[in-house]
Amino acid sequence: MSSLNITPLSSALGAQISGVDISQPLNLEQRDAIEQALLKYQVLFFRNQPIEPSQQARFAAYFGDLHIHPIYPNVPEQPEVLILDTAVTDVRGNAIWHTDVTFLPTPAMGAVLSAKLLPEFGGDTLWASGIAAYEALSAPMKALLEGLTATHDFIRSFPLERYGNTPQALAQWEAARRKNPPLSHPVIRTHPVSGRRSLFVSEGFTSKINELSETESEAVLKFLFAHATRPEFTIRWRWQKDDIAFWDNRVTQHYAVDDYRPARRVMQRATVLGDVPFFR
């Protein structure tokens, strides 16, 4: 039996996990127990887990290949771990509901976020369950959305005016833009492991529903953005130093609350690549 202790935090998503030291290598039983908890609860929280970037990358790599972000700075000796430091980088793009890197053909399976430096107050993060949001839709709305696709665009969260303000930043932005043109994913995504269906649009990256007219797309997306983030589908985490969150990016979106300025906040994230989204 696994030694994990699991405390559910809400009916929609979220559980706190204890009984494992993430700084140490996992055995197969621990790895599988964490994966099963992730599938069930969608976002997992671990308190008091001081880890080095190499340990964070090792933990994340138990669940898949790691992504190197095209814009955010990373730990030089561990480039798979990006740094979200408000003293260095404009992170306002995280203060919007988004699912990470859906501008990729194979968006992230998940992400491991570690709290390194926190403001005295504020700086919480919220997650929303796309599964709960989908299941709460009426049958006619599900029928409308099934089979539709949506465009996901890198520049919605990384606009040129914020990320191209120096020659070096502009060159990096232009390279990222060339490598990540707009692409399409299904509006309703089927989880590749559990088979459950989830809404797969977010304000951070989704620009339009391809099969609808511009006005229809705008109206439907406005509804879906609001519906998906209703409080009953969400959980809010108040960070403590050395907390870790591990979420299933395939079926969730999240929002980093920007309510602590001018205080500084430093987080480090390892992102696990996933697969091509599909609907069935």
- Catalytic center residues: 98, 100, 254, 269
Structure tokens that stand for 211 in this block: 């099969």
**What's the DSSP call for residue 98?**
B
Burial class (CB in 10 A: 0-12, 13-18, 19+), 240: exposed
**CA diameter of the chain:** 55
CA angle 205, 9, 250 (to 5 degrees): 30
My answer on whether omega of the bond before 262 falls inside 30° of 0, hence cis, is yes
Give alpha helix (H) positions in the chain: 28-41, 53-61, 130-135, 139-145, 160-163, 167-179, 214-228
**Using CA atoms, how far apart are residues 41 and 84, in angstroms rounded to an integer?**
25
